[in-house]
Amino acid sequence: MARCLRIHPADNVATMLQDVKAQRVEVLGAAAGAAIELREAIALGHKVALTEIAANEPVLKYGVTIGIASKDIARGEWVHLQNCRSRVDVRSQSLDPRSGAPADNPYE
């Protein structure tokens, strides 16, 4: 079975250890033995929500707040720029969620 890693027991996200399609994935690390049903394909290194995370709730990885949910996130959903924002870095909210490419500087 494809695998993802939950680093800290307090974490509400896990990190993909390979590119995975929408399928059932084994959770390694903290709370090992659990599994999570992905709602969409998630790439290596990207994160899946292990629980429902309501808008404005913290996203936890390494046991610390790495960002704030910018909308309601369902269990099994991909957690990234489209639904999670930094508490300090405003510019990252304007980047393309897949490529990370900026769109705010004109090339004219």
Of 21, 24, 71, 87, the residue at the interface with other proteins (CB under 8 A) is 87
How far apart are alpha carbons 61 and 105 in whole angstroms?
A: 31
Q: Are 67 and 59 in contact (CB under 8 A)?
A: yes
Q: Verify binding: residue 1, other proteins, rule CB under 8 A.
A: no
Judged by phi (left if over 0) then psi (alpha if -120 to 50, else beta), residue 29 lies in: left
Q: Does 9 bind other proteins (CB under 8 A)?
A: no
Contacting residues toward other proteins, per CB under 8 A: 5, 7, 15-17, 43-47, 59, 61-62, 64-67, 79-81, 84-89, 91-92, 95, 97-102
